[in-house]
Amino acid sequence: MMLASAVRNLSRRSFSTSKAVSAQQLTVRDALNAALDEEMERDEKVFLLGEEVAQYDGAYKVSRGLWKKYGDKRVIDTPITEMGFAGIAVGAAMAGLRPVCEFMTFNFSMQAIDQVINSAAKTFYMSAGTVNVPIVFRGPNGAAAGVAAQHSQCFGAWYAHCPGLKVVSPYDSEDAKGLLKAAIRDPDPVVVLENEMLYGVGYPVSDQVLDKNFVLPIGKAKIMRPGKHITIVAHSKSVETALQAANELAGKGIEAEVINLRSLRPLDSETIFKSVQKTHHLVTVEQGWPQSGIGSEICARIMEHETFYHLDAPIWRVTGVDVPMPYAKTLEAAALPQVPDVVTAVNKVLGVK
């Protein structure tokens, strides 16, 4: 009896047409799926290939329904050979198609890094601008849960290091849809670093985001929360950590401005500069390793810019620990930035005890 009542209540909620409950909540998975579907419908040159993307609907169900809708020629299951199918995708892009190449995890992109860097990223330059390579490399990046060192690293700094690539790192559903659509339409190679832990998370979205013409510009950050005391810059899942820390800090009277980078290459330095010139303090947050990371690059850019003279305290980086990811659950948590780490960093930068 209780079960039947619960089902009836869920049914009523599912079909509610009120603004609060109508289709304004979108998971990151569904946002990516919608972006792929809309772009494949818009341009017949767009196709998807990768391991289990077709008949299985994708390892993370991001490509759910696309094989049934578009067929074998546009949603292609590949053998387990990243170097092979990435090479096929790059060649198809050189020939004028627009492939979306899915890596089951970006850790596996190391098998194909010669194709990503030497074949995709460098060809436009080496052909004196005569050969475009309009390809998207996408898939989950960074730490998941309980998958240890070989499946948990962040490739943001790796790929952002390379000229010829654009690199985006979406956080929420708005980011995921708008940035993937922009990546597919871009004339050059774009790396889309998603996060497995965010796929099933629902975020509120506006009608504008649900529109088929919604696209976000690559290279533009977003201020997620305005503040006046300190700037916190993050990307991907670390934006969530930064926002949670900002909420905790607000309870102590510290208003943190949280910037979601969205794009790692090109990096939106101007938005960071303007924020730091206002707050005079900066903390960066990322799940990647500390050496030569995204936070390191931000520190260098500020030091080389007049914004350096607006700082009232040194910049503080909050990063993943400088070790391969442990398998043990407690050690895994200790190896990743947590909310208390960000709060502690902010207190140290502001001189709060």
Give catalytic residue positions. 82, 151
Single-letter residue type at 186: D
Q: Is 153 left (phi over 0), alpha (psi -120 to 50) or beta?
A: beta
How many Å apart are CA 188 and CA 174, to the nearest integer?
22
Single-letter residue type at 213: N
Six-digit token string for 11? 């049914």
How many Å apart are CA 177 and CA 209, to the nearest integer?
8
Contact 109, 155 (CB under 8 A): yes
